[in-house]
Amino acid sequence: MKIESFEQACQLLKLSTTIPDGPKWLKAAYQLGIIATASRENVEVDWSNYKQPKWFVWWDMEHFSLRYVYDRYSVSSVPPPFVFLNKEDAKHCVKTFPEVWKDYFSNEW
């Protein structure tokens, strides 16, 4: 599912839109986790199911651009909240929320 806003994601998951206090990168991680979970329509990532696709983004940090969208069925270095069930939703999240991704990688407190 293509999520257009953090508020939409929260509404779909029946969560508050209040973002907890904390460092900039942690607030962004919170938002991205909710957005990715909503895009999966609350389907759990099942690491024991190698038939379930698991898409995640790979960044070119020098130019801060999307390098690849990878599909891994049972192995990942990405936490489950940032996993998408299809390539289109992963790319859509990058295009729709570039500032949130930048905040996540900012390491700013």
Mean pLDDT for 90-98 is 91
Q: b or e along 39-53 (b: 16 or more beta carbons within 10 Å of the residue's beta carbon)?
A: bbeeeebeeeeeeee
User: So what's the pLDDT on residue 24?
Assistant: 94
Summarised one tens digit per residue, pLDDT across range 3-56 is 999 999 999 999 999 999 999 999 999 999 999 999 999 888 888 888 888 888
Give, in order, the Cα–Cα distances in Å from 45 to each of 23, 49, 55, 83, 100.
27, 9, 11, 8, 22
User: So what's the pLDDT on residue 89?
Assistant: 92
pTM of the predicted model, to two decimals?
0.84
